[in-house]
Each structure stands twice: as C-alpha cells, then as structure tokens.
Structure 1
Amino acid sequence: MKLRTGLLLLPLLLAALLLPAGCGGPAWDGPPILVFGMDGLEWSVLEPLMAAGRAPNFARLVERGVGGSLQTMIPTFSPVVWTTIATGAPPEEHGILNFGVWDPVKKEMGKPYTSNCRAVPAIWNLADDLGRSVLSVAWWVSWPAEAVEHGRIVASYAAQVQGRLLWKSGVWERGLPEHTWPPELREQILPALADGRDGGPLTEQFIARFGRIRPGPALKFRRHLAGLFHVAFRGDATHVRIMREQLERQVADLNLVYIGLPDVAGHFYWRYREPERFLHKPDPALVAELGGHIDRAYEQADAWLGEVLAAVPEETIVLVLSDHGMHAFNTETPESLEQGGLQSGGHEDAPDGVLIAAGPGVRRRGLLPAGERRLGGVLDVAPTLCDLLGIELPAAARGASLRRVLMTDEWCAAHPEPGRRDYRRGFRPPTPPREPYAGASQDFLEDLVKGLGYIDSVD
C-alpha cells in the first residue's frame, strides 16, 4: 500500500520539479522588512532635529540600530536613482535614464518613463517570483502597476506637465487606470484619494504645519512655491495613509513606501534656512516666514514615519533611506533670479543620502561619526533586501549585500550568504513610455491651478 501511494505521488513530484524556477521558493519565516524611501533626506538637517527632540521616531530608530550615509550616483535624478535602488542595476542596464524620454524632434523632454520601460526586474518582482509577499506604495516609476502574484502595488505616475513643474507624484483624484495591483485594490484606497483632493482635510493639515501665506514681499512667488509644496504634501500624506491602512490589513514580507517632501522643501527653501550661505541675502521677512519650512518638512516626515512604524510588528527590520543628500545651491544667484525658477537647494554633486537600519539582527551602533558614516551605496540596497529576504541576489546587480556592515556576526552566521541568479530570463522586454489617458498632463495642470488658492491668508 505504501508503494502504491508513492507511485501515485511520483507524477506530482516530477511535475513540481519541472515547474519554472521563478514560480516560487522556500517558505519564508523571517521578520517582515519595511523600506521607507524619503527623497533628499539630509543629515545636516536631520541630525540637529534629532538632538533637539524634534524627530523622535528617527532618533529611536538610530538608537535601536545604526545611522549612516548612502553613496548616490550622477545624475541624481529621482526616477534614475530610485530605480537603481529598486533593482541594484545602474541606469544603462535598467533603462531609466532621466525623468522622461528625450524627444529629438521637439528637442525637449517627452513622456515620463513608466514601469514598462524598465529592462530588469525590480525588488518587488524578485521577491514575488520566489514566493515572498510584497506591498509597494508610490515608488518612483511604478505605473502601470505590475502584476505580482503575492503582492499589492499602489503605483505612482508623474505626468508630463507635472514633471516640468515638480516631478512628484501628486494625488490622482480623477482616477488613474492601472493604478493598483490587484485592480480591486483601488476600491480600498478611494477614501484616501478623496481626502487628498484640493481643499480636503489634508489642506488643513498642511496649513497647521506650514501656515498660511500672508501679505508681503514676493507674494506671487510665495504662492507659486506654496502651491507646488502643497501638491507634494497631499501626495505624500495620501500615500502614507494608504500604506498604513494596507499594513493594518496585512503586513507583507517586503513593504516599501516613498515620500518626496524633504526633497521639495530643500529645493525651494534652502536660501531662507541658511541665508548666510548666499551672496545675495534674502528679504528678512521671507526668512522669518519660510526659514523653518525645511525643518517642518522633516518633522512631518518623522510623524509619517511614526504612523507607519506603529502599523508593523516590533520585530520588523526597518530601513529608512534617501536617494541623495542636499545643500545650499546657486549661492551666488540674486534672489530675483531664483524667483524666476532657479532653486536654492541642490544635489547635482551627488552628496550622500541617509541610511538608517534597525530591527532584529541589526548591529546597534547608533549614529556614526560624520566622517565615518558611509555604509554603502544605492547599488547595494536591492542585493541587501534580497539577502534579508533569503533569496538569491540579481546577477545584474553591480552592488553587494551590506550584511557585514548592517547585521550582527550571529545573524551572518545563521544566514548563509546567498548566490546570484539571472532574474532577467523570462522577464518581459522594455517598451516605450505610456500615458494613463489622453490629456493626463492637462488634467494635472488644471488641478494644480485650482489648488493654489487654498493656502492663501484668510485675513
């Protein structure tokens, strides 16, 4: 009887052996992983806020683990670097080379890159391929949402006109096709999208944090900046809420979320935070009104971090990282020229970003000394995540796992170093950028103009 049972099972065993290698992997019983991407986060701003008790969630994470820096690359364009972070591949291999594809006829930036343009799998593809569950919210170049058997994706799309103004994802309250995977996930996020509309409850939160625009010098300029800043705030706040609500439903093995507010604040308001760094000093009235906006944006990022951390188990491995740092830029430019479009915070010289790690198995080293902070580079993030998930590293990845830098000797001994695997075999070929629907860029512009008035003074 035992022999007969074995013969009956033999075809099933053979069939299992013949399944494609990408159809699953060994069961995973490790801790969940949370990756919180924060664009443009900079230690010279964050460190004093932590010391002053104004960024308590960041401070607690660093105390539980390690705070260091992450080497970036040139160019420091957000879609390029965040795609490298998600793939472990350099731009010439993953195929996302700028914000959008260059139009040689019009001699201008064309449609923004979309997920179908990517030539290599992202970490959510790799994890899903080997049976790990995934949750990704608002990652750069993630629209259209890719089908993942074991995951949920809420995609982010930067429209052509939006890109020229801001290059942040905003909130698509009018509806975005292929916004989520699975498609029915969109029904769950509709309340958050509705609250993210212009003039909705998030506008009052923005005013509570950053104040209203008051009469005074450069009013038109201040309204313009505040309008764009408001769009970024609403987008981030909406995505953080979606992330928190999805985590409350189910924490995945790998959980990723992105916000862009620190980067936007740095670009717009650095002159007013550090007026002494600039040859042409800004109006003192503007310094008084705008000089605290970068710090307030970091305090807001800390609050959002706290919301997300409250929704994951204590044993979660947490990585907080930025694609680059930020510093004073265009320091010899007159303020009048800056108001014409130049930014006072920049990162063109590729300053290191932030990397914070905490959780089970992470070395408790605290905040590293300023000259000894570099823990790795953006090419190392995807290999490190693969290692933490117990799956093979991408063969195309140029970086390596940061296990020896981030994790304890005990963890390393208990987790054999993984090999490499060519995940590109069978991955769909890249195709040209797509647009969600005709007129998407115009829709964004109309929404932006409509939103400018909500943050003016009521006086």
Structure 2
Amino acid sequence: MRLLRFLSLCLLASATASCDGAPETRPAKVLFIGVDGATWDIAGPLMASGEMPNLKALVDRGFASNLATFQPSLSPVIWTTIATGKPKEVHGITDFVNATEHGPEPVLSNDRKVRAIWDLLGERDVRVGIVGWWLTWPAEIVNGFMVSSLSVLEAGLWKGSAYVGMPKQTHPPGWSKDLDLLVQAEQARAAETGKALFGALPDDYGTPMQKRVILDTRAALLSDQIFFESAKAFWKRDRVPFLAVYSGIVDVSSHRMWKYYRPKDKPQWRVPLEDVDALGEVIPNAYRWVDRKIGEIVAEADPDTLILVAADHGFHAEMRPGMSEDERSGGHEFALLPGLFVAAGPGVRHVDLRGDENAEIPSVFDLTPTLLHVFGLPRAADMQGRVYTGLFTPEHLAANPLVAEIPTYETSPRPTVAISAEDRAAVSGAKDNVVERLRSLGYLQGK
C-alpha cells in the first residue's frame, strides 16, 4: 500500500518535481553560441583594437576565461561532450566517421548514446532551438526546433551544412520548405558573402591546392551564414528559452590559412609575399565576421538572456611529418590548446580570468551541468562535468542553490529517428547538391 501511495505521489509530482527531490525548472533564457576553434590569441588583439566590438561588449559586462579541453581535440567529439557533460567513451562519438565493412560512413545523430542538453531540457518542458550543431542529422525530435548539420564526406566537406531538398534536416519536419527557401536565398548571394573573408580575390587565384582550400573556406562561410540566418528566422517564429547555434568558419579558416596569417611561425613554409598579401587577413576576417553575427543574434535576445560564447579548442601552427607544404597549416588535435569562453547576463560574475594562470576555469565537460543549474535542474552523478559555480555571483548562488544531484538522466532508452532507404539514397546523392553549392560560390561555371 505504501509503495502504491509513493508511486501515485511520484506521478502527481512529475509536473513540478521528481521523486528524487529535484525541483521544477527555473524560468531562464539562454543563448549559446559555439565558435569552433576560437582562441584568445587572435580574438584578444582584435577586441583590443576595436575589431570585435560585440564580443568585447559581452566581456566588458560579464565573465571571460579559457575553456579547458582534452586531446585529441576532434571537433565532433568535443562538441558532443559540451552537449552532454560526458566523455567520448560514454557518449559514443569518437571520430568524424564510423568504420564499417563498406568503408567509412558519416556519424549520425542516432549514434549518440546519451541525452544531450536539448533532450534534458526538452523532456522537462523547456523548449529548445538547436541550429547547426555537429552530428545532428537526421534532425532529432526535440521540444522546439532543430536545424541539423549534414556532412557530405564524398565531396570532401567535413563541416556540416543544410542543402536544398535533403530529408530530415529540420524539426518540425514541416519547416524544411522554409529552410530550403533560406538556403536558396543564401546561395544566390554567396559570392557577396564571401567578400567578407576574401575581399576582391579573383576566382582563379592560386595553385590548384590553394583554389581547393579557398573553396573549402568559402563553403564553410556559406554554411555558417545559412545557420545564423535560420537561427534568427526560426527564433522569431518560436521564442524558445534555450537557443544554441554553432559556427565553424574560424576553425576551417585557421586550418587552411594559418601559414598565410603567420608565415614566420614555420620558416620552412617559405610562403610567397604575394600569398601573404592575398590571404593573410582571411583568419582575422573570419573572427570579425563571427563577431558581427554574434552582435546580430544577441540583438534578437531579450535583455534578461544569459549569453554564452564557447570554443572547443584553440589553434597553432602545425606541420606534421608527411604533410606537404600545400596542406593545412593550422592545427590543434595533438596539442592541449584551450578555447575561449565568455558569459554575460543575469547572475554572472564580472571578472576576466584570461591572464590568471592560477584561476580555476571551466572545461568542456562543465557546460551542460552548468546549463542545467541555470534552469534549476540537478547535475547527474554520471556526468564527468560539474556545475561551474565560479561563473556566478554569490548573490545568484544564494538565491539559486545547487540542486542535489541525481544518479542519472538515462533512465530509459534515448529516442532515435527512423531513417528510410529513401533518406539514405538522398543523402548518398547529396554530392549533386554540393556541386550546385560550388557553382553558387563562383566555381564550376559551365560544368
């Protein structure tokens, strides 16, 4: 009889509190901007010279530090850790691809073994919007909206994007037509968008390898433009209290263009002055462009929104044995290079820890537990991360004490998305969409 009474109370309390004592969610608003590969080594001087005013405005009224990461710093692995608070051995994402008997295949959203922050919030009636996050195709069924990120490895484009007519790119599914229209519009003005990084660089500039890395960078910029514009458009339609949007252009440009930006880092590169003049500003231009996008989307947020900007790792010059002089010149995978972290908004400490080597800083494992705290939810004991209390003022913590942790949120299988044979065929044929994308970037005319 007591057991029946206990279970009845549990059911009755489910809308307000769990039987382990976790309270109902706190009202909160969060805008989380992920900037892959951003480092203070570049952002800091640009902020100081007035060239990243929007990031500086957040730092000036909030919190700034490094964000500790791990090795090897593979982006899909780390961004999944950021979204779950768990290591790769637990969340199941260990690389860019899955090795199969048929060869490497793209990692899908279904391959993630545990719930992400959007699941944890959505299952507790906090509506979410997720745009462009690594490994989110097929689009997950979320309490809110999602624009997934589809990688077309056959075309050599590792960073995900959105393409016209591809299945399961959005949730709700009915929003796919709106996404298609947005993608078409951005492809139509892609050449103009590219000037933000390359100025008036001629389409025929450089060696065949240079043409390829320029094209890769322009494609990544277009993908980011699509994701930022879709985030703004869909957020106006559905004012979810939690919005996360991912940007990859800083990472891509840093991989491809480092030797033109800092040619003296590796004298053996012997970079021609002509190339430095033509391509040396691409990386700083990527930071400047992202800063403008940060300003645009922050302007869409309510004044009482907590703004987070986070990077999964930093960058440095790289030339590993076996790499030719034409291959990528910036890297991060095998060096422990922290990313940047900024927060501003309700309850956030006003402190800059960038120059404090002894400061206790957040890590990529801490962001999901910390976000749970913001919404009044407990950390789970099976999360490697902690609630980073150093982010908050004493007044915030006094008014919003940490909720007693629970053993796990994984009390039932994580829902996945069915993928039909037609879906797989469409994705396998996505190279045709990439060809159209390349044409929109000013390449492949007449082909």
TM-score, normalised with respect to structure 1: 0.86
Equivalent residues of 1:117, 1:431 under 8 A apart: no
Alpha-carbon distance, 1:450 to partner: 6.0
Is 2:408 the partner of 1:418?
A: no
Question: Contact 2:152–2:431 at 8 Å: present in 1 too?
Answer: yes
Letter of the structure 2 residue corresponding to residue 343 of structure 1: R
Instruction: List aligned pairs for 1:191-202, cutoff 5 A.
Output: 191-197=181-187, 200-202=188-190
Report Cα offsets for 1:169-209 as digits up to 9, x if no partner: 12312x22121112122233332122133xx1132121254
Measured at CA, do residues 208 and 224 of structure 1 come closer, stay the same or move farther in structure 2, by a change above 3 Å? Answer: same
Q: CA deviation at 1:42?
A: 1.1
Conserved? CA contact 2:34–2:310, under 8 Å: yes
Q: Is the 8 A contact 2:190 2:440 kept in 1?
A: no
Aligned ranges 1:171-190 → 2 under 5 Å: 171-173=162-164, 175-190=165-180
Q: Give distance in 2, aligned partners of 1:127 and 1:205.
A: 35
- Aligned pair in 2 of structure 1 residues 40, 433: CA closer, same or farther (>3 Å)? farther
| Amino acid paired to 1:395 | A
How do residues 208-357 of structure 1 correspond to structure 2 at under 5 angstroms? 208-214=196-202, 218-278=206-266, 279-330=268-319, 337-339=324-326, 342-348=327-333, 349-357=335-343
Structure 2: how far apart are the matches of 1:357 and 1:410?
A: 17
Tell me how far apart the structure 2 counterparts of residues 372 and 308 of structure 1 sit (CA, whole Å): 33
Matches within 5 A, 1:44-193: 44-103=41-100, 105=101, 108=103, 110-148=104-142, 150-162=143-155, 165-173=156-164, 175-193=165-183
Name the counterpart of 2:3: none
The answer to whether the Cα contact below 8 Å between 1:130 and 1:391 also exists between their aligned partners in 2 is no
C-alpha contact (below 8 Å) 2:151/2:160 kept by paired residues: yes
Q: Which amino acid aligns with 1:167?
A: W
Distance 1:130 1:32, change over 3 A: same
Structure 1 residues 410 and 370, CA gap change in structure 2 (3 angstroms): closer
**In structure 1, how many angstroms separate the alpha carbons of the residues matched to 2:15 and 2:178?**
29
Aligned residue for 2:388? Answer: 402
Please state whether the residue corresponding to 1:424 is helix, strand or coil: coil
- Summarize deviations over 1:239-263 as a string: whole Å, max 9, x none: 1001111222333221100010000
Q: How many angstroms apart in 1 are the aligned matches of 2:169 and 2:380? A: 27
- For structure 2, list consecutive stretches of 5 or more residues without a partner in the other structure: 1-5
Residue 111 of structure 1 and its aligned partner are, at CA, apart by 1.3
Contact map agreement 2:259 2:317 (CA 8 A) in 1: yes
Select between 153-162 and 430-439 the one with higher mean Cα deviation.
Answer: 430-439
The secondary structure found in structure 2 opposite 1:139 is: coil
Q: Is the CA contact 2:63–2:343 (under 8 Å) kept in the aligned structure 1?
A: yes
Is the contact made by 1:213 and 1:223 (CA closer than 8 Å) also made in structure 2?
A: no
Contact 1:111/1:433 (8 A) holds in 2: no
The 2-side partners of 1:283 and 1:215 are apart by 19
Aligned residues: 433
Letter in 1 for 2:32: V
1:234 is aligned with what amino acid?
L
Consecutive unaligned residues in structure 1, runs of 5 or more: 1-12
CA distance in 1, matches of 2:50, 2:420: 45
Quick check: 1:327–1:346 contact (8 Å CA) kept in 2? yes
Aligned to 1:377: 363
Question: Which deviates the most, 301-310 or 425-434?
Answer: 425-434
Once residues 94 and 186 of structure 2 are traced to their aligned partners in structure 1, the CA distance between those partners, rounded to angstroms, is: 30
Return the offset for 1:68. 0.7
8 Å contact from structure 2 (residues 31, 306) kept in 1: yes
The share of aligned pairs that are identical, in percent, is 32
| Structure-1 separation of matches of 2:65 and 2:43 | 12
How far did residue 117 of structure 1 move? 0.9
Letter in 1 for 2:109: S
Does the C-alpha gap of structure 1 residues 313 and 424 become closer, same or farther in structure 2, counting only changes over 3 Å? same
Question: Residues 63 and 367 of structure 1 are in contact (CA less than 8 Å); yes or no, is this contact kept in structure 2?
Answer: no
CA distance in 2, matches of 1:185, 1:216: 38
CA shift, 1:423, in A, is: 1.2
After superposition, the Cα gap between the structure-2 partners of 1:43 and 1:370, relative to the gap in structure 1 and judged at 3 Å, is: farther
